[in-house]
Chain A
Amino acid sequence: MTRSSSRRLGYDGIVLAAPVTVPYQRFSKETAHWWIARALRETLTTAGIAPRELDGFSVSSFTLFPDTAVGLTQHLGLTPRWLDHIPMGGASGVAAVRRAARAVQAGDADVVACVSGDTNHVDSFRRMLSSFSRFAQDASYPYGSGGPNACFALLTDHYMNAYGAMREDFGRICVAQRDNALKNPHAIMKSPLTLEQYMGARMISDPIALFDCVMPVSGAEAFLVMREEDARATGIPYAHIRSTIERHNAFPEDAIQMRGGWVMDIDELYAMAGAQPDDIDLLQTYDDYPVISMMQIEDLGFCKKGEGPEFVRAHDLTIAGDFPHNVSGGQLSAGQAGAAGGFIGLVEAIRQVTGTAGPTQVKDARTAMVSGFGMINFDRGVCSGAAIISGDAA
């Protein structure tokens, strides 16, 4: 079958506003509902919207069971005319933007509150792993039950062999993010990390060591998608959506993951935004493990495949560096609050391009690229997405 091709519509007039991070906690006795409520309340308060007035609501969470976004409407007293539940983990932030922006653009909703949040009880991570997905349950968890650590250890081992990456190269990513996190008062990790400490840490699943792993925490993130005129009328800062991409189960023929779905769509991402890699002031990758951040640096066009190790050797990834990356510390140093891990980079990027990031602010940051990566369904991350957003001065 041949299809007609169409140019994608831009997101003119649709903006992102009211970024909210509810400070993370290592363990919480509260529920996902509680964390989501706090984030929702703060983002709505910022824009002066009463919960009953909100007409669009998008939720991402792993720990709401047995509820979904549906249960939350009644629980939280919302009466939306547009409702979404996004099960894409680390890709949920970009996916939420894409869906919500189109809804607002088409008039199906005036404002969509995009919220992600999860709680972390003692033992809840273990229980989630054993039944994360059918393929994981059948074909990866029975093999040592190392969870994502083991899956990413395999990808990292393969990447290191294929491209000559050294543990130090991944260490550079982790150490720079810790440096950034020290400026973020809400980061879970509060002590400095040296490359020596990184290299000397105990092995978790070779070659993955302690500081390659994120800390599961409780937390929530949120932002609003709305019309530019409404944001302006409210007087709140906002960011423009210049382009987005999304892809699932890319390259199933690859024997092991060496690239993500970004590779299929990256040209379109830049073309739609009318931008080049040089125009990006900061990059927020999905960083559950540093090997994935390195793959994103390659797949998002900042260097060629296999040049990631050389790239991180040649660049300074800190807030004040020549390639600011995961400037709030990312999940590696700020913590992974379940599905909120798919929002952390995006929410910080909205703050950055609107000049409201405070202590983690990158000087003159106008344009940010945010990428998402989610769901180790079996042996690899299935969902990928990316967005370029800009503040008003761009």
Chain B
Amino acid sequence: MTTPIVPPPKKDPQKRTRVPTRPSELRSRAALGLAAAAAEGRFMLQVCTECGAVQYPPRDACAACLSVDLPWKDVSPNGRMIAETAVRTSTNVYFRERTPWRIGTVRLDAGPSVMCHVHGDVERGGAVRIINRLDKSGQGVFFALPSEGTPAMEDDPQLREMTCDPKFRRVLITDGRNENAVALAKAFSDAQASIIFVGEAESWRAYPHRDTLAAIPNVEILPLDVTDTQSVTELAGEIGGKTDILVNNARFVRPGGIMDRGDTVFARDEMEVNFLGLMRLAQAFGPAMRGRGADGQNSAAAWVNLLSVYAYSNMPAFGAFSASNAAAHSLSQCLRAEMRAGGVRVMNVYTGPTDDAWHQPLPPPKVAPTALARAIIAGLEDGLEDVFVGDVAKDLIEKWRAGAKVLEREMTEAAGD
């Protein structure tokens, strides 16, 4: 039985904030395939193309036939725990601070045995389902769950180390004016976030959903303009030390590419919000979050960027907007590298056209704010790094992985018609 977590007490400012430590992140290049799969919450192993043998640990040649063609594939995550232990002494500081730490050996139905972290509700010798998650070092690790769900299982202390569950955490949503703000705030409220700060630029200017937003339990609207360094710095000074999850939903979007725009005014705004806005937020909020990565139940956990999937491949009808998102996508990789020292996850949520005023003339499918909000909460609960919401985004990333150049040609074809 998992003991449900309770809201953490107010922090004693005289006590030292626990410094983030991390599990070992040394891995071979082959083993990084686990991190890539965990970034999307997939359970994958290498499978030999020639003989079909499922491999583990990750390797460079098939242990059955010596083929070197070993792509990662989704395999059955089911198995049985055949041995377990509670590690009580560890040579690694991160685990040393968290002992006893339960691990086990699981024989997978797919063939190999794996060592894995084990949920407290798994019974001795019990059937398990393995999930692949990112640990605090940002590496993919296996975690055995009971094959059937149990009450409050997400609160298992070991599992919570691998997730960014909003429960009892404090969230900042950067742009209340965005049409998606109500759905996002509502979703975090439903997910038991303890406070939902919502940034609001140009407060003197009215917008239709403000009252609805303000009425959501635990929502607190605060002034924030991501294009104004002083505004960002001031808010960080106020709530930077208690921002556990930051959702950067500020977005400037206008249709158009290069030649159908007569100037660079919108492009400048797009970069100002979508790229430099991220940079300003990260410079103001990043250091405190990184320093609070191990600060108890409500440690800083995640940084969420809402991005256009056209960051991967330009959509000429929104060509300059796509470019600003490509810049933000690239910067997010830098942020991820810098946040890693604190064990703070950077999760990018990519969508195709969203169901809002600026995408009004585009045909469906479009991503509704509620669908976006659901995907963000689910992604945080699974501790993901990359989330693709909706059919357009999923389709595009699949094509991008199959061949970025072919996709480029495909994407730019419509523009030439």
A126 to B95, CA, bound (A): 13
- Determine whether B90 belongs to the interface, using a CB cutoff of 8 Å to chain A: yes
- Within B74-105, which residues are at the interface with A (CB < 8 Å)? 82-92, 94-95, 100-101, 103-105
- Determine whether A306 belongs to the interface, using a CB cutoff of 8 Å to chain B: no
Tell me, rounded to whole Å, the shortest Cβ–Cβ distance linking B88 to chain A.
5
Partner of A205, one of B31, B88, B114: B88
A83 to B196, CA, bound (A): 69
- Determine whether B28 belongs to the interface, using a CB cutoff of 8 Å to chain A: yes
- Within A131-188, which residues are at the interface with B (CB < 8 Å)? 131, 134-135, 137-147, 149-150, 153-155, 157-158, 161
* Residue of chain A at shortest CB distance from B112: A255
* Residue of chain A at shortest CB distance from B102: A144
- Determine whether B116 belongs to the interface, using a CB cutoff of 8 Å to chain A: yes
- Within B109-127, which residues are at the interface with A (CB < 8 Å)? 113-117, 125
Residue tally, chain A, CB below 8 Å to B: 38
Tell me, rounded to whole Å, the shortest Cβ–Cβ distance linking B143 to chain A.
10
Which chain A residues border B266 with CB–CB below 8 Å? none
Which chain B residues border A204 with CB–CB below 8 Å? 88-89
* Residue of chain B at shortest CB distance from A153: B85
- Determine whether B318 belongs to the interface, using a CB cutoff of 8 Å to chain A: no
Residues A129 and B88 in contact, CB atoms below 8 Å apart: no
Partner of B31, one of A139, A206, A252: A139
Which chain A residues border B135 with CB–CB below 8 Å? 142
Residue tally, chain B, CB below 8 Å to A: 40
Which chain A residues border B265 with CB–CB below 8 Å? none
Which one of B55-63, B276-284, B293-301, B309-317 is at the interface? B55-63
Which chain A residues border B88 with CB–CB below 8 Å? 202-206
- Within B1-49, which residues are at the interface with A (CB < 8 Å)? 23-24, 26-28, 30-31
Residues A205 and B113 in contact, CB atoms below 8 Å apart: no
Which chain B residues border A129 with CB–CB below 8 Å? 91
Residues B89 and A205 in contact, CB atoms below 8 Å apart: yes
- Determine whether B107 belongs to the interface, using a CB cutoff of 8 Å to chain A: yes
- B contacts, CB < 8 Å to A: 23-24, 26-28, 30-31, 56-58, 63, 82-92, 94-95, 100-101, 103-105, 107, 113-117, 125, 135, 137, 139, 141
Q: List 17 A-B contacts (CB under 8 A).
A: A137-B24, A138-B30, A140-B115, A141-B26, A144-B90, A144-B92, A146-B90, A146-B101, A146-B103, A154-B84, A157-B83, A157-B84, A206-B86, A252-B63, A255-B107, A378-B115, A379-B115
- Which 6 pairs show the lowest CB-CB distances between chains A and B? A145-B92, A153-B85, A144-B87, A139-B57, A138-B31, A146-B87
